[in-house]
Amino acid sequence: MIPEALTPGPSPASGRAEEIAIRAERLTKRFGAVTAVDDLSLTVAKGEIFGLVGPDGAGKTTTMRLLTSIMDPDAGEAWVAGRHVVRQSEAVKERIGYMSQRFGLYPDLTVMENIHFYADIYSEPRKGRQEKIERLLAFSNLTPFKRRLAGNLSGGMKQKLGLACALVHTPEVLFLDEPTNGVDPVSRRDFWRILYQLLRQQVTIFVSTAYLDEAERAGRVGLIHHGKLLACGTPDEVKRLMRGTILEVRASNPRRATSLLRERLGADSVGLFGDRVHVVSRGPDDVARRIESILGEHGLSVSGIRRVEPTLEDVFVSVLGGDRVARHSMP
């Protein structure tokens, strides 16, 4: 049961329309027999980072396409920057930046040429454009590479270039669809550093991700699965949805230990997190003794069992009522 304060729906900012950048009410989108977005409602305040979190196929990209006026919903309504996404779709597109999973960079154009191309698409005035582009290059640490072909950039640098192109017309709301997917950890950190700088300019950022550790950097997060928004709140608020206590088990052969505990232990969930096993239980003391007994019977040594604070990944598994998503869907 999701606590009322965290049920999907309006944020605390919803009382004043001028403070809301994004508002969705019961959005639904179907593709044949598949409901990609199912009765989704949420609000995002101006000047915040909102993270939409879920595994592949959860409905993140479809939600973003509905909010950016790329496709129309089958039911429900949404407003972005005060404009209706269907009735005022062109006005919405003028006020947003959108970086899709496969952002359309042109590999045979240089960094500078790509940015100019997008400036032309957005009808950015020539007067003052060069100064703005130079600021974007410095902002994204691309100045030394402005004459390099986009096709010769690293994955992380391509993402930064995509972000610069999405920002060239100074959007009020920035939509980023899994912007760091496949990017190395250092580039992911640099990318988020840039996003935090944007917050100081009161840009609202709506970002989707399958990386639950990354989602913890957002001001608020929404957990989505099979098109349904399961919970919405700050990372700390969402973590309080955890059903039970997490025991972190350090054992020899953690993969084998995980398999054994799943078979033998009547815990709420058992999952492998790196080289540690996480066991969720509502009776942690008794379960800890059973863990040592079960693993000892099969010749596995236990070097430590301790209670730990939940991560968003732990919460996601708990809210879904099992560990199948963690095993098969999450990175």
Structure tokens that stand for 40 in this block: 């989704």
d(CA 200, CA 211): 24
User: Residue 330 has what pLDDT?
Assistant: 36
Mean pLDDT of the chain: 87
Domain with 148 in it: what CATH number? 3.40.50.300
Residues sharing a CB contact under 8 Å with residue 7, sequence separation 6 or more, in sequence order: 231, 232
Residues 291 and 171 in one domain: no
Judge whether 274 lies within some domain. yes
Residues 261 and 191 in one domain: no
Structure tokens that stand for 11 in this block: 């944020």
User: Residue 16 has what pLDDT?
Assistant: 57
Q: Residue 13: pLDDT above 80?
A: no
Structure tokens that stand for 206 in this block: 């709506």
Q: Residue 9: pLDDT above 90?
A: no
Question: Could you say which of 239, 258, 293 is where a domain stops?
Answer: 239
d(CA 103, CA 60): 16
pLDDT tens sequence across 117-129 = 999 988 899 988 9
Domain that residue 234 falls in: 4-239
Q: Residue 310: pLDDT above 80?
A: yes
Q: Region 212-230: what's the mean pLDDT?
A: 91
| 3-class secondary-structure state, position 322 | coil
Q: Residue 281: pLDDT above 80?
A: yes
Closest-CA residue to 162 (of 98, 241, 236): 98
Question: Could you say which of 215, 239, 263 is where a domain stops?
Answer: 239
pLDDT tens sequence across 130-154 = 998 998 898 888 999 999 999 999 8
Q: Residue 293: pLDDT above 90?
A: yes
Residues 87 and 202 in one domain: yes
Judge whether 224 lies within some domain. yes
pTM for this one? 0.80
Instruction: Check residues 71 and 311 and name the one with the higher pLDDT.
Output: 71
User: Residue 208 has what pLDDT?
Assistant: 94
Q: Residue 328: pLDDT above 70?
A: no
d(CA 80, CA 20): 8
Q: Residue 324: pLDDT above 50?
A: no
Indicate the number of domains in the chain: 2
DSSP 149: B
User: Residue 321 has what pLDDT?
Assistant: 61
Residues sharing a CB contact under 8 Å with residue 208, sequence separation 6 or more, in sequence order: 51, 52, 53, 54, 60, 61, 63, 64, 176, 177, 178
Judge whether 318 lies within some domain. no
Residues sharing a CB contact under 8 Å with residue 222, sequence separation 6 or more, in sequence order: 8, 42, 50, 51, 52, 53, 229, 231, 232
User: Residue 172 has what pLDDT?
Assistant: 95
Residues 130 and 225 in one domain: yes
